[in-house]
Amino acid sequence: MSMDIKQIQDLIKFVAKSGVNEVAIEEKDFKITIKTNQEPTYVTATVPAPVALPQQQPAAAPAATAAPIVQAPSAPAAEASNLITVKSPMIGTFYRASGPDKPLFVNVGDEITPGKVLCIVEAMKLFNEIESEVSGKIVKILVNDAEPVEFDQPLFLVDPS
């Protein structure tokens, strides 16, 4: 088995997107190991606890827990209902500029059009320009510079009007 450069690049992209920390392929005459320097991601779910309480105390618990839950997101939900979320297409490190001494790609309040570079996501030493697929105005930047991002993580909020 031998791999051409295109197959190796595809494998690197797959490893970057999948979140796997290491992949090794070894044959008689060929060996390749791809490692990422990303920390493992641990997800903690707290959904079962609120679901269990209403089942134990059906009359008191919904009244006590439902009111705060409804009130907290209602204001942001009303604001964000017309906003478009730009999400990360891959796992990597988020950068707002092409270099430390370079200007930022976008700021809050900037007008964007499809094809405009919004940021860079670095995955395994490959710097991927993330371009806008929508037009509108940047309302909020949800990630700090040089911060790790996950696949499908929200990066920007855009007002399309």
Which of 37-41, 43-47, 82-86, 100-104 shows the lowest per-residue confidence on average (mean pLDDT)? Answer: 43-47
Confidence of residue 70 (pLDDT cuts 50, 70, 90): very low
Q: Pick the range with the lowest mean pLDDT from 13-27, 78-92, 103-117, 144-158.
A: 13-27
Contacts of residue 119, Cβ cutoff 8 Å, sequence gap at least 6: 94, 95, 96, 105, 106, 129, 130, 155, 156
CA distances from 94 to 11, 17, 122 (A): 21, 14, 7
Predicted pLDDT at 103: 94
Sign of the torsion angle spanned by Cα atoms 15, 20, 22, 28: negative
CB contact at 8 A, 155 and 94: yes
Question: So what's the pLDDT on residue 79?
Answer: 52
| CA distances in angstroms from 19 to 45, 60, 121, 125, 142, listed in the order given | 19, 42, 14, 15, 21
Q: Which one, of 114, 112, 117, 101, lies nearest residue 137 by Cα? A: 112
CB 114 within 8 A of CB 135: yes
Whether pLDDT at 104 is above 60: yes
pLDDT for 13 beyond 60: yes
Taking only the tens place, the pLDDT of each residue in 20-67 is 677 777 777 777 777 776 655 444 444 444 444 444 444 444 444 444
Q: Using CA atoms, how far apart are residues 93 and 144, in angstroms rounded to an integer?
A: 10
- Among 27-41, 114-128, 130-144, the minimum mean pLDDT is found in 27-41
Task: Output the pLDDT for position 91.
Answer: 92
For the chain, what is the total number of helices (H) and then of strands (E)? 3, 10
pTM for this prediction: 0.52
- Count Cβ atoms below 10 Å from residue 84 Cβ, excluding itself: 17
What pLDDT does 92 receive? 93
CA-closest candidate to residue 54, choices 42, 44, 64: 64
Given its phi and psi angles, is residue 70 left (phi above 0), alpha (psi -120 to 50 degrees) or beta? alpha
